[in-house]
């Protein structure tokens, strides 16, 4: 983190009253883990903090220390509005454009409190008083650790803080295997283990708590797998009907797209998930090597993210969205064939 950014954050913290910490819509392990880790650290230093999320988070994260104090805008809009109105400092974590907070965007824009952004996605918007943005970072949770270190707070990291930050780093790095995992990431993980995080228990809580419905839905997803060898591409689709008949719950499709990416020779993988209630098809993109799914998602599907992991959406139905995708692919044939 550069010195100016750190100095600004220190100044903002010095004069701050209530602090709100916000993650992105459909929060994942990194959004929740980084927010709770930072919140517990700041609270321990005497600050008043409140974590708020645009909507609910998956069941497999619902054991994280202090997660029961999170306020969700979709369930309790009045409560979240109050917290934001009272805050005089707002941390935005794991996203870099306010529209990533869905309906909460309006409430955030109304606030006069300065923002501090901590994020590792590409192309950050310029709205924060302090922007700590680093696209080379494995996760926002790793960045929160670096902020704590810069604030001379490593000795203050508790078991609860380290459990949250470990979870965020673990989930965003696919258990320390994606390319953004560095020697420094592992050093941070070592410090978090020393501070009390139990890696093996965390793995079990996140990965070995699948419901039978989720595993059956995975079976449907794998049956629907289509491979396009000419484009080194594979995609999966799930219709609303398929989701309904397997009692789909938030988070159940997490990680499915990685099965498409694991097919030999495939460097571009996509999952299309129909959401009739919102009238959209939600899309997750993954790639290996130099092919940028951030660019692809931004250019065609109102999305973005990282080079190798991005998301987006279409306002069309499932079949129409897939057809659109297939019609776009030939424009990328060269890039896909020659990607390193």
Strands 304-305 and 309-314: antiparallel
User: How far apart are the C-alpha atoms of 103 and 42, rounded to whole Å?
Assistant: 27
CA distances from 337 to 144, 259, 280 (A): 38, 20, 30
User: How far apart are the C-alpha atoms of 236 and 110, rounded to whole Å?
Assistant: 40
Site for Mn ion in 22-51 (CB under 5 A): 30
Binds ligand 5GP by CB under 6 A, chosen from 84, 261, 310, 318: 310
Site for ligand 5GP in 153-212 (CB under 6 A): none
Residue 193 phi, psi dihedral angles, 5° rounding: -65, -40
Nearest approach in angstroms of CB 173 to Mn ion is 10
Query: Which of ligand 5GP, Mn ion, none binds 311 (CB below 5-8 Å, type-dependent)?
Result: ligand 5GP
Query: Which of Mn ion, ligand 5GP, none binds 284 (CB below 5-8 Å, type-dependent)?
Result: ligand 5GP
The verdict on 284 binding ligand 5GP (CB under 6 A) reads: yes
The verdict on 27 binding ligand 5GP (CB under 6 A) reads: no
- Max intra-chain CA distance, the chain: 58
Site for Mn ion in 62-91 (CB under 5 A): none
Query: Please, which residue, 39 or 173, has the CB nearer to ligand 5GP?
Result: 173
Residue whose C-alpha is closest to residue 263's, from 231, 290, 294, 293? 231
Query: Please, which residue, 28 or 160, has the CB nearer to ligand 5GP?
Result: 28
Query: Which of Mn ion, ligand 5GP, none binds 252 (CB below 5-8 Å, type-dependent)?
Result: none
E strands along 181-308, which residues?
226-228, 233-238, 268-275, 280-287, 304-305
Query: Which of Mn ion, ligand 5GP, none binds 232 (CB below 5-8 Å, type-dependent)?
Result: none
User: How far apart are the C-alpha atoms of 181 and 319, rounded to whole Å?
Assistant: 36
DSSP annotation string for 47-98: --EEEEESS---GGGTTSTTGGG-EETTT-HHHHHHHHHH-SEEEEES-SSG
Nearest approach in angstroms of CB 283 to ligand 5GP is 8
User: How far apart are the C-alpha atoms of 70 and 73, rounded to whole Å?
Assistant: 10
Site mask, ligand 5GP, residues 101-130, x = CB under 6 A?
--------------------x---------
Query: Please, which residue, 214 or 306, has the CB nearer to ligand 5GP?
Result: 306
The verdict on 54 binding ligand 5GP (CB under 6 A) reads: no
Sheet holding 280-287, edge to edge: 226-228, 233-238, 268-275, 280-287, 309-314, 304-305
Nearest approach in angstroms of CB 307 to ligand 5GP is 11
The verdict on 311 binding ligand 5GP (CB under 6 A) reads: yes
Which stretch in 53-61, 143-151, 157-165, 298-306 sits in contact with ligand 5GP by CB under 6 A?
298-306
Interface with ligand 5GP (CB under 6 A):
24, 100, 121, 284, 303-306, 309-313
Interface with Mn ion (CB under 5 A):
30, 94, 139-140, 172
């Amino acid at each position: 983190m550069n010195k100016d950014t750190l100095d600004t954050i220190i100044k903002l913290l010095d004069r701050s009253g209530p602090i709100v910490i916000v993650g992105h819509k459909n929060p994942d392990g990194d959004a929740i883990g980084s927010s709770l880790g930072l919140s517990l650290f700041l609270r321990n230093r005497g600050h008043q903090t409140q974590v708020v999320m645009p909507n609910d988070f998956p069941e497999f994260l619902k054991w994280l220390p202090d997660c029961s104090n999170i306020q969700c805008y979709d369930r309790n809009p009045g409560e979240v509005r109050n917290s934001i109105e009272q805050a005089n400092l707002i941390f935005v974590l794991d996203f870099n454009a306010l529209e990533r907070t869905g309906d909460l965007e309006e409430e955030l824009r109304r606030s006069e409190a300065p923002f501090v952004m901590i994020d590792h996605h590409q192309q950050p918007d310029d709205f924060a008083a302090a922007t700590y943005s680093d696209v080379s970072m494995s996760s926002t949770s790793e960045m929160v650790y670096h902020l704590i270190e810069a604030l001379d707070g490593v000795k203050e990291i508790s078991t609860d803080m380290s459990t949250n930050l470990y979870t965020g780093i673990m989930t965003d790095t696919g258990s320390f295997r994606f390319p953004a995992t560095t020697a420094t990431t592992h050093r941070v993980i070592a410090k978090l283990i020393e501070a009390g995080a139990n890696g093996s228990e965390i793995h079990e809580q996140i990965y070995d708590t699948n419901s039978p419905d989720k595993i059956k839905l995975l079976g449907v997803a794998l049956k629907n797998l289509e491979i396009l060898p000419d484009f080194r591409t594979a995609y999966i689709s799930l219709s609303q009907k398929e989701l309904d008949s397997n009692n789909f719950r938030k988070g159940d499709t997490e990680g499915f797209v990685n099965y498409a990416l694991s097919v030999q020779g495939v460097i571009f993988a996509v999952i299309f998930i129909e959401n009739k209630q919102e009238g959209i098809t939600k899309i997750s993109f993954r790639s290996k090597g130099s092919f940028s799914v951030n660019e692809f998602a931004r250019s065609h599907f109102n999305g973005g993210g990282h080079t190798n992991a991005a998301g987006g959406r279409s306002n069309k139905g499932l079949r129409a969205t897939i057809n659109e995708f297939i019609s776009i692919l030939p424009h990328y044939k060269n890039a896909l064939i020659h990607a390193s």
